[in-house]
Amino acid sequence: MPLRVLLVDDHALFRRGVAATLAHRPGLQVVGEAGDGLEALERARELQPDLILMDISMPGCTGVQAVQAIKRELPAIKVVMLTVSDVDDDLFGAVRAGAEGYLLKDVGADELCDLLEGVQRGEAPVSRVLAAKILHALRGEADPPAPQTLTLREIEVLQLIAEGLANADIAARLCVTENTVKMHLRHILDKLHLENRVQAAVYAVRHGLETASPETSPGAD
């Protein structure tokens, strides 16, 4: 089944351009559009999309406010921000609100489609630049649980998530199945009290795990 996408942006022309881009991928289906955050919540209730692709800066109800409302009422719906803003506070606010990804509008058409299809597999667009910016916004907050609560394999998976690897690539790197990687990710999120893959990548950067390179031991799950 294609990933059912709701587009949210206050510029109708931009929405039409994105819709035309996604229409070329059989794995993606635009099921509706909205012009602001309040309309996004209404359309999300009505359409029950798999994913919402949403701008940050919109009149009335901002993208971050809309993410908070949607995640509170419809937590199963994935939300990816698509915006021109690379301001730290916007990145931080979106991820804290529960967004599964954050993309800038200069992303290429093919890359955008690839990243959205990755979300359907439980992945998210995470880059070191994004993680570093959110890390900067997180300075001064209380530290989350220490990485010692994770197993060696979970730390390895977390490091590879911080590098931006997809589940299939992590599985190949560690010589395990993709389902095993997904299981480890669930355990990581539960143990560290995190909500999604983006926050896991930020955690890894915050604890210096993205630069470590422990020996991997195939089959040591």
Instruction: Check which CATH number belongs to the domain holding 180 and give it.
Output: 1.10.10.10
- Of these ranges, 58-67, 196-205, 208-217, the one predicted with the greatest mean pLDDT is 58-67
The neighbour count for residue 211, using CB atoms within 10 Å, is 9
The reply to whether 138 falls in a domain is no
Q: Are residues 121 and 206 in the same domain?
A: no
Beta bridge partners of 53: 7, 80
The reply to whether 220 falls in a domain is no
Q: Are residues 82 and 121 in the same domain?
A: yes
Closest listed residue to residue 68, CA positions, set 87, 49, 94, 89: 94
**Where does the pLDDT of residue 217 fall: very low under 50, low under 70, confident under 90, or very high at 90 and above?**
very low
Closest listed residue to residue 188, CA positions, set 161, 165, 215, 214: 161
Q: List the domain range (segments joined by +) for residue 42.
A: 3-125
How far is residue 143's CA from residue 138's CA, in Å, rounded to a whole number?
9
Whether residue 53 is predicted with pLDDT greater than 90 in this model: the reply is: yes
Q: Are residues 120 and 178 in the same domain?
A: no
**Where does the pLDDT of residue 211 fall: very low under 50, low under 70, confident under 90, or very high at 90 and above?**
very low
Instruction: Check which CATH number belongs to the domain holding 7 and give it.
Output: 3.40.50.2300
Q: Are residues 43 and 80 in the same domain?
A: yes
**pTM beyond 0.85, yes or no:** no
The reply to whether 159 falls in a domain is yes
Q: Is 202 helix (H, G, I), strand (E, B) or coil?
A: helix
Whether residue 176 is predicted with pLDDT greater than 90 in this model: the reply is: yes
Q: Are residues 176 and 104 in the same domain?
A: no
Q: Are residues 93 and 169 in the same domain?
A: no
Query: What type of residue sits at position 183?
Result: M
Q: Are residues 157 and 80 in the same domain?
A: no
The reply to whether 200 falls in a domain is yes
Q: Are residues 160 and 121 in the same domain?
A: no
Whether residue 34 is predicted with pLDDT greater than 90 in this model: the reply is: yes
The reply to whether 37 falls in a domain is yes
More confident residue, 98 or 13: 13
Whether residue 215 is predicted with pLDDT greater than 90 in this model: the reply is: no
Residue 145 is predicted with a pLDDT of 58
Q: Are residues 24 and 118 in the same domain?
A: yes
Residue 134 is predicted with a pLDDT of 59
Q: Are residues 118 and 156 in the same domain?
A: no
- Of these ranges, 120-124, 146-150, 171-175, 206-210, the one predicted with the greatest mean pLDDT is 171-175
Domain count for the chain, please give it: 2
pLDDT, one tens digit per residue, over 72-119 is 999 999 999 998 887 767 777 888 888 888 888 888 899 889 888 888
Q: Are residues 184 and 81 in the same domain?
A: no
